[in-house]
Chains A and B, each alone.
Chain A
Amino acid sequence: MSKYGAFAFGLVNTIPPDKIVSSSDGVHSMERQNRTRSLEFFSFDQQYLNRLVEGDPGTECHFVEYFSFLLRAKLQVRLRSAQDAEDLTQEVFLRVLQSLRKGRGVQHPGKLGAFVNAVCNNVVFEHIRGKGRTRQWDDNTPEPRDNSIRVERELMSQEIRQQVRTVLEELPAKDRGLLRAIFLEEQDKDTVCHDYGVQREYLRVLLHRARRRMRQLLVGPKITNDIAARTSWSAHQ
């Protein structure tokens, strides 16, 4: 087990979804059966914060899972290294939980996200400063191999993978080529746009449409049914 114990990704994923607290305990979600969905719709309250401070395993698990993606997104954008992002994500969790348990950090439960972000900023700053210092002494050390694809595969659920495959299959060959070039081959985006004869705006819109389609695949039928039910309910008032 890593030095971060239960906060490591692998162990988190072994906690069954029903161990995540119920809505009466303060967690508000549309789909309790599906953790991916439940994490999409969430607000923090004092009860949640109390459980986190007390070390409730289900709440800790939810907290780690909820912020893992956000931290990993931020850290990957900031550091461009999946391995560093993973290590620092664990460090952020450790510091946040330690602070909360010492009674420091969050005055209002709604500000939990801002607090996690602030701790992450400190961790990134320290990491970059530390790395700069190390590099002064050892500039010839080769960069470690980035095993992001292996890690990403482990982290992604089968359901999400299938959704991405569906989205990719629905795209025209040109758009698939664009995604391949920017995500898989990590080519320079201006060069990619030039080669494919598109503007940078096209890339943003392509991602936006793909994102909307993924959302539709994830919650579409449920939302559609909810709206239909609400509409029909209102119509009878």
Chain B
Amino acid sequence: MKHEDCVKSLMAEKYILGELSEGECGQFEQHFFECLECAGAVRTLLQLQDGTKAALSSERAYARSRQ
């Protein structure tokens, strides 16, 4: 899997969104375990995912406590 293709087709975003086929998933994993840039992209997206969950669940809990 070429890095340029990964960047162009937003593979990291597709990966986190669960949009890749089994084969694509395996190929991309093989790539990002060796590619610093794609590893960084996956890492940042995971942080975004986790951070969004944490931030928005806190908001929701706060809103519920105010009701």
Interface residues, chain A, with chain B CB atoms under 8 Å away: 39-43, 69-70, 72-74, 76-78, 110-111, 113-114, 116-117, 121, 148-149, 152-153, 155-156, 160-161, 163-165, 167-168, 176, 179-180, 182-184, 189, 200, 203-205, 207-208, 210-211, 214-215, 218
Interface of A is mostly: helix
**Contacts A117-B30, A152-B53, A160-B47 known; A73 to B36 CB distance under 8 Å?**
no
For the complex, give the distance between the alpha carbons of A205 and B33 in Å.
23
Say yes or no: is B6 at the interface (Cβ < 8 Å to chain A). no
Given contacts A69-B46, A113-B34, A113-B39, 12 further A-B contacts (CB under 8 A): A39-B43, A70-B42, A73-B43, A121-B26, A152-B54, A153-B54, A160-B51, A180-B52, A184-B53, A203-B17, A207-B17, A218-B44
A110–B36 CA distance with the chains assembled, in angstroms: 11
B40 to A183, Cβ gap below 8 A? no
Q: Which residues of B come within 8 Å of A, CB atoms?
A: 10, 12-19, 25-26, 29-30, 32-34, 36, 39-57, 60
Subset of 11 A-B contacts with CB under 8 Å: A40-B43, A69-B43, A73-B15, A113-B33, A148-B53, A156-B54, A161-B54, A164-B54, A168-B56, A180-B52, A183-B56
Give B60's nearest chain A residue, CB to CB: A184
Q: Given A73-B46, A152-B50 in contact, is the A42-B56 Cβ separation under 8 Å?
A: no
Asked if residues B10 and A208 are in contact (CB atoms below 8 Å), the reply is yes
Q: Which 7 A-B pairs have the closest CB atoms?
A: A164-B51, A113-B33, A117-B33, A152-B50, A113-B34, A204-B13, A207-B13
Name B30's closest neighbour in chain A (CB-CB): A117
When distances are taken between beta carbons in the complex, the residues of chain A under 8 Å from B48 are 164, 167, 207, 210-211, 214
Interface pair A180/B56, CB less than 8 Å apart? yes
